[in-house]
Structure 1
């Protein structure tokens, strides 16, 4: 099986330490990358893979953080990765209450929005990686392969269960050598963040952030 060209990644619990249940990463100082994450994404970058973050951030709808707070957290995420030679191609966030939209995972809206923005993404040539079954459900609904980050052997609807992002990338890439055409990635301080509701500004134009 060929290695996916696009990697959709969950954020909390996949890229950074997940906050306690019911809590959110509300400021840049609260974001800490998990071990091996930057190296895994750097490998994806060097092999020409597209890396897209898709994250549920209901704390905005609950009034616990603002869109500016969320943008600042994502800016810190991109800066932390760039400091280790890795980059993201896009970040999409659902900021709505549960059951209030089509983009909150396990709904596939965030992935579908990315596919609309990047028409060369083929669902069958993409993978969704995350630490919850909601991530798996979103990937399956969007038609991608799926990986659950959990203890190996755990029962899951995912196509693969891996201990962490680094392990998942190693399995999915196999013996793929560096090559392809790396995508440009987000410029420093710029994120593409938004939702899927038609009444909202879904993804920010280049050079804008909120």
Structure 2
């Protein structure tokens, strides 16, 4: 039995986990939204393994007026549609447009997690996994006693973040395939 079989709830970051992150930029439209290789396959697998799947994503580009809430909604509808076509699902997407790092909703702060519990009261953070590609994602999960998974190539193997995670996978598909 897989060690993660005790976990029922999945929290995912978006950029760098589901889609290709745009360094020093934002995904502002569907043309700029590119799924990471095999992330759609990963979502189909994860849908079978978790009772709830939510996305928690910082979207400062809206706060900076680089894009609008409407732009983001179009991107998210596209993402959900493609994930559903591939046999996966996302139960809800939570995002923070705030510019201040002190905002309760901006990761690594935990406001988006409590929004998820308000919508899905059965969610138990100690039975949750947080998958992200950045230090703020890992801190978010740790503050809530979640099992933390780092994906991607943002940090070299020697980086201190690797001392603070439960596991590392090259990408979301490798994580999903391990379950």
Q: Same fold (TM over 0.5)?
A: yes
User: Match of 2:98, SS?
Assistant: coil
After TM superposition, the structure 1 = structure 2 runs for residues 114-129 of structure 1, keeping only pairs within 5 Å, are: 114-129=116-131
What is aligned with 2:134?
A: 132
Pick from 11, 16, 20: which aligns with 1:17? 20
Out of 7, 11, 26, the position equivalent to 2:10 is 7
SS of the counterpart of 1:45?
Answer: helix
* Higher helix residue share: 2
| Correspondence 1:110-189 to 2 at 5 A | 110-150=112-152, 153-154=157-158, 155-171=162-178, 173=179
CA distance in 1, matches of 2:51, 2:157: 27
**Equivalent position SS for 1:7:** strand
Q: How many residues align?
A: 171
* Residue of structure 2 in register with 1:183 after alignment: none
Q: Structure 1 residues 17 and 150 mapped into 2: Cα distance closer, same or farther (>3 Å)?
A: closer
Please, what TM-score do these two structures have when normalized by structure 1?
0.76
CA distance in 1, matches of 2:150, 2:75: 24
Output the CA distance in 2 between the equivalents of 1:2 and 1:46: 13
Structure 1 residue runs of 5 or longer lacking an equivalent are 174-210
Q: CA RMSD in A?
A: 1.6
Q: CA deviation at 1:80?
A: 1.5
Aligned twin of 1:28: 30
8 Å CA contact retained: 1:148, 1:156: no
Matched position secondary structure for 1:59: helix
Runs of 4+ in structure 1 off by over 6 angstroms are none
Does the 8 Å contact 1:133/1:156 carry over to 2?
no
3-state SS, counterpart of residue 131 of structure 2: strand
